[in-house]
Amino acid sequence: MMQEILVAKNLKKTFRLSAKQRQIEKTSLYERIAVSDLSFTANEGEIFGLLGPNGAGKTTTLRMLATLIAPDSGDAFVDGASIVSDPEGVRSKVGFLTSELRLEDYFTPNYLFDFFSSLHNVEPQKMEQRKKMLFEKFGVDKFAEVKVANLSTGMKQKLSIIISVVHDPKIIIFDEPTNGLDVLTAKVVTDFLLELKAQGKTIILSTHIFSLVEKVCDTVGVIINGKMVACDTVKELTKEKNLEDKFFDLYVQEEGASYE
């Protein structure tokens, strides 16, 4: 029997629109609904994909799950901890990675690993062990004492991934994990995702790349305009046609035949 580990219930998030933005969009609305009434459940040990076009609300959803921003209404429970009433508890259980999370240029990978480990209450012994293992896996070991400012973009990205899992979280949230990476680095990342899954971790990722979903995800939720329009196992969704065609069907259903 599958164990539910992440339950999102009726998440809603709106952003205030500036006067200029209202003018550009010729709208009298003061708010943009980024995510509306979004519910889904992820099971322990699976890779859950949030699939959606640009501006669908994927990043917003993941930021709420990682407690970077608070939902207007609704709640989500991460391994039992509420993102609304126990954000610190949630943060100790999840690792979050997006391109918006930067590392300070001045420090070295070695220092940052230790710093974030201590913020996550990782025992010194376990910290050394994980540092060695993760640095070797991503090839950061040779650059352990090079300041972040002097690392290549790919190396920075890899270090960010390492830092997001210093505390060996049960749940890992990745926003567009392979965006902007070359094929080699992208493969390192997808392999890492599968490896985490093999270790029994739960992964929530967002993407607009169909092939990534088909390759790694067990379950997929399709988000269009802040709403979850379909949520099922990849197997079930792709029973009749491939994911891409299925997505277009859903889009037409939701928006009318307005895509071109």
Partner 1 sequence: MNKTFIIAKKELYRFFTDRRLLFSTVLLPGLMVYIIYTFMGSAFSSMFGQGAEAPRVLSVNTPASITAIAAEPQYGFGIIDIDSEEDGKNEIINKTADILMVFPADFDEAVAAYENASGGLAPDVAVYYEGSDTAATAVYSSIIGMLEEYEGRIANKFDVNRDNAEADLSGGGGNVGAQMMSSLLPLLLIIFLFTACMSVVPDSFAGEKERGTIATLLITPVKRSGLVMGKIIALGIIALCSGISSFVGTFLSLPNLMNVGGEEASLELTAYSVEDYLFLLLIIISTLLMLVSLLSIVSAYAKTVKEATTLATPLMIVIMLVGVTAMFGGGGAQTDFWYYLIPAYNSVQSMVGIFGGEFNLVNTIIAVCSNVVYTGLFLVIITKMYNSERIIFAR
Ligand X SMILES: Nc1ncnc2c1ncn2[C@@H]1O[C@H](COP(=O)(O)OP(=O)(O)OP(=O)(O)O)[C@@H](O)[C@H]1O
> Which residue ranges make up the site for ligand X (CB under 6 A)?
15, 32, 34, 52, 54-60, 208
Q: Which does 92 bind (CB under 5 to 8 A by kind): partner 1, Mg ion, ligand X, none?
A: partner 1
Smaller CB distance to Mg ion: residue 57 or 95? 57
Smallest distance, ligand X to C-beta of residue 59, A: 3
CA separation for the pair 88, 91 (Å, rounded): 5
**Binding status of residue 59 toward Mg ion by CB under 5 A:** yes
Smaller CB distance to partner 1: residue 64 or 212? 64
CA separation for the pair 254, 256 (Å, rounded): 6
Q: Which does 68 bind (CB under 5 to 8 A by kind): Mg ion, ligand X, partner 1, none?
A: partner 1
Smallest distance, ligand X to C-beta of residue 232, A: 19
- Cα angle vertex 54, ends 103, 77, to 5°? 65
Smallest distance, ligand X to C-beta of residue 15, A: 3
Smaller CB distance to ligand X: residue 202 or 206? 206
CB 237 within 8 A of CB 246: yes
Smaller CB distance to Mg ion: residue 46 or 175? 175
- Interaction site with partner 1 (CB under 8 A): 16, 66-70, 88-89, 91-92, 94, 96, 100-107, 111, 115-116, 118-121, 163
Smaller CB distance to Mg ion: residue 114 or 176? 176
**Binding status of residue 98 toward Mg ion by CB under 5 A:** no
115 contacts: CB under 8 Å, gap ≥ 6:
107
Q: Which does 165 bind (CB under 5 to 8 A by kind): partner 1, Mg ion, ligand X, none?
A: none
**Binding status of residue 60 toward Mg ion by CB under 5 A:** no
- Cα angle vertex 177, ends 8, 138, to 5°? 125
Smallest distance, ligand X to C-beta of residue 41, A: 20
Q: Under the rule (CB under 5 A), what is the footprint of Mg ion?
A: 59
